[in-house]
Amino acid sequence: MRYPRKRFVVQEHFASHHHYDFRLEMDGVLKSWAIPKEVPRITKVKRLAVQVDDHDVNYIDFEGEIVEGLYGAGTVRIFDSGSYYLLERNEDKIKVVLLGEKLEGVYELIRLKDTRNWLIFAIGDRAHVVDSR
């Protein structure tokens, strides 16, 4: 089975509070979550991921300074990027296979009861998913 691939990026953001922005190319935009700590690379570690406004797809390669006075002021650098396969998606769950340099494997985002708060966690490697690279 071949899965269509899309892009993802994790941007480390040195703003008023240091965090990571996890973004998935989806529906013509970058679906985005702010994660207060580094995205987990091992199973059994769960992180809060707060859903934020969608970003334009052109933002996927952004690194640099957002000037004071603008939303998100601070330094942004790419922590990891690559492609992903969407395995499952509904309003409360997104399951993907990430193929990045640092993040590789199956990840889930689970929405917490009718909020913008989600949990993100690794659930295993991608060995069981057919790679169509």
129 vs 34: CA distance, rounded Å: 27
51 vs 68: CA distance, rounded Å: 23
Structural tokens at position 47:
């992180």
Quick check: 6 pLDDT over 90? yes
Single out the residue of 61, 10, 66, 72 nearest to residue 38, CA to CA: 10
Q: Mind listing the pLDDT tens digit for each residue in 13-31?
A: 999 899 999 999 999 999 9
- Is the whole model's pTM more than 0.85, yes or no? yes
The one-letter code for the residue type at 86 is L
70 vs 119: CA distance, rounded Å: 28
- Model pLDDT, residue 107: 95
DSSP 3-state assignment of 66? Answer: strand
